[in-house]
Amino acid sequence: MLFGDNFESAVRELSSVAQLDADLCAAEGRIVMLHKDTYTLPEAATKPSLQSIASKMVSLKHSAVYKNFYALIVFLLTLPVTSATCERAHSKVDLVKSAVRASMGSDRLEDLVIISSEKSVLDSIKMSAVVSKFAVKNRGLPL
């Protein structure tokens, strides 16, 4: 909860993770907390979300006044919830680079991993168009 009982200690801890000045973030957070009714949108519940606070701070130009607290909110909003994307990329590398392909160069491996990870984009491309485009070009491989 953003406006809970341990608000100041949470802000201090999060600001140290975000490498922001903990004292300034806590002070600016206390000021924002005093005016939490300003940041609660009419359609929102009794407690505002981080996204609604950030939007309201921008619209009221408070993002320039409370720079550190706003930077902390933006930091929290941009943190990934999970590391699934990174894990997926590593598992694709494991699939692509097997013992048979161990001598493969890093450029080729990178290209194959991108193709494997972005399969949905690849499926939307018509392969006949790609093949016909490369069929008319001169072969660039030395014989």
Q: Give yes or no: residues 45 and 98 share one domain.
A: no
**pLDDT bucket at 4, cuts 50 / 70 / 90:** low
pLDDT tens digits, 61-116? 888 888 999 999 999 888 877 777 777 777 777 776 665 566 677 787 788 788 88
In total, the chain counts a number of residues equal to 143
Cα distance between residue 96 and residue 132, in whole Å: 27
* Residue 103: C-alpha distances to residues 32, 109, 136, 139 (Å): 58, 10, 31, 24
Domain count along the chain: 2
Does the residue 107 lie in any domain? Answer: yes
Confirm whether 143 is domain-assigned: no
User: Which pTM was predicted?
Assistant: 0.52
Q: What is the pLDDT of residues 30-63, one digit of tens each?
A: 888 887 677 665 555 566 778 888 888 888 888 8
Nearest to 36 by CA among 69, 9, 13, 68: 69
Same domain, 39 and 68: yes
Residue 44 lies in a domain: yes
Query: Which residue range is the domain that position 128 belongs to?
Result: 84-135
> Residue 37: inside a domain, yes or no?
yes
- Residue 89 in any domain: the answer is yes
Last residue of a domain, one of 78, 97, 127: 78
**Same domain assignment for residues 31 and 53:** yes
DSSP 50-88: HHHHHHHHHHTTHHHHSHHHHHHHHHHHHS-S-SHHHHH
88: alpha, beta or left? (left if phi > 0; alpha if psi -120 to 50): alpha
Judgement on whether residues 61 and 25 belong to the same structural domain of the protein: yes
Residues 69 and 30 in one domain: yes
Residue 94 in any domain: the answer is yes
My answer on whether 59 and 74 are in the same domain is: yes
